[in-house]
Amino acid sequence: MKRLFTSLVAAVALLLCACGGQAQESPWQTAYRETGQYLLSQPAPTTGSIGGEWAVIGLRRAGLLTDETARSYKAAAEDYVRQAGSPRLHRAKSTDTSRTILGLTAAGYDATAVAGIDLTAGLSDMSYLRIQGLNGPIWALIALDCGGYAIPQAAEGEEQTTREGLVSEILSAQCPDGGWTLLGEASDVDMTAMALTSLSPYLENRDVQAAVERALTCLSRVQQDNGGFMSWGTVNSESCAQVIVALTSLGIDPAADSRFIKNGASPLDGLCASACVGGGFRHSDELPEPPAVAPTVTKQTAPVTAAARQSHPNSVTASQVNPDRTAAKQVASDGAIVVPIEPDGMATEQGFYALTAYALFCRNAPRLFDLTSLLP
């Protein structure tokens, strides 16, 4: 573990030169280092949208995933696939298969041979992908491209998935305002950013180029004054994370491109507004009201954007205040009471892989979801 911490510190030191050459860490670099340390202190990743593949991807691309942890994740994924008994790991959610392909590939394993099952076959039927709305085609394209996987032949009577078909499906779903959405007609930041990430390897296509420019204009228009982004009625770190991944995948510097600087704040600033002391991220930068006096801090629920989160496609329960987390930080230098917030699982994993995406961008390394070099 100590060796991993040392590796992370060394990686951030390199980034100080690659990303601006500051003599001291910037806020995003501090958040990156501390969140890496925080994730390493958590249980080893298994399968699932929290504590699973997103952590595997972030840690692997940051150079922090050990061989032991990779093998542990592979074993968990194999158990998951055996229980499903099919490359379709969920009857309606193809993203379960796509996410597992991404996790296994990031861990260095071929997703076409998992417990005797070719997971890419679970993405071969376009009609199955559509069950989940636009999420299905977007993440199928990202997953298939992450390892340069060929698309297996669909079964008789099914609609064959092709890369051209996936790109066309995504392009045809673009909203009039330039973005993409899961429901309704108004664009959603998360869906727009994820669509851009999926299309990033296809910029030689003129239709893709035009769609990307419209979407970038849309994202720039809805960016908040603090550099952040709102989705489902809440300014939140996960939306910032998705935008950072999208921009870096497109070769755009989220810290410097004038389209994404509002009042001097970039998406990196927006994300770091939700950073927790000691590592991790909150879902939102909204904080609980401090007590009028300084009693012993008791465990309580952080301010909830519950209705928005429960209806969001990536919904999880709200974070909670942890009275034992960094107790020394409970009183600020000006005497104000500071209630420490425990990191939110999804926000932390997505925030970390977004900062990893930016770190890779600064080093001119392959984009976050380009995992082909990790396969044997």
What angle separates helix 53-61 from helix 27-40, to the nearest 10 degrees? Answer: 120
Q: What does the pLDDT average to over 85-102?
A: 97
pTM of the model: 0.85
Whether residue 83 is predicted with pLDDT greater than 90 in this model: the reply is yes
Query: What integer best gives the mean pLDDT of the chain?
Result: 85
Q: What does the pLDDT average to over 233-262?
A: 97
Those residues whose C-beta lies under 8 Å from the C-beta of residue 269, and which sit 6 or more positions away, are 27, 28, 226, 227, 228
For the record, the structure tokens of 278 come out as: 């000691």
E strand segments, the chain = 230-231, 234-235
Q: What is the DSSP letter of 283?
A: S
* pLDDT tens digits for range 348-368: 999 999 999 999 999 999 999
Considering only 111-115, 156-160, 305-309, which range has the smallest mean pLDDT? 305-309
State the Cα–Cα distance between residues 146 and 99, nearest whole angstrom.
11
Whether residue 267 is predicted with pLDDT greater than 60 in this model: the reply is yes
For the record, the structure tokens of 185 come out as: 């007609």
Whether residue 16 is predicted with pLDDT greater than 60 in this model: the reply is no
The closest of 38, 20, 5, 7 to 352, measured between CA atoms, is 38
* pLDDT tens digits for range 35-57: 999 999 999 999 999 999 999 99
Q: Tell me the fold of 175-286+339-368.
A: Glycosyltransferase (1.50.10)
State the Cα–Cα distance between residues 125 and 176, nearest whole angstrom.
28
pLDDT of residue 5: 52
pLDDT of residue 305: 31
Predicted confidence band of residue 24 (pLDDT cuts 50, 70, 90): confident
The closest of 14, 12, 11, 42 to 30, measured between CA atoms, is 12
What angle separates helix 163-172 from helix 135-146, to the nearest 10 degrees? Answer: 140
Whether residue 171 is predicted with pLDDT greater than 60 in this model: the reply is yes
pLDDT of residue 93: 97
Predicted confidence band of residue 130 (pLDDT cuts 50, 70, 90): very high
State the Cα–Cα distance between residues 278 and 259, nearest whole angstrom.
31
Q: What does the pLDDT average to over 20-27?
A: 74
Whether residue 325 is predicted with pLDDT greater than 70 in this model: the reply is no
Integer-rounded Cα radius of gyration of the chain: 20
pLDDT of residue 327: 32
Output 338 or 269, whichever has higher pLDDT: 269
Predicted confidence band of residue 184 (pLDDT cuts 50, 70, 90): confident
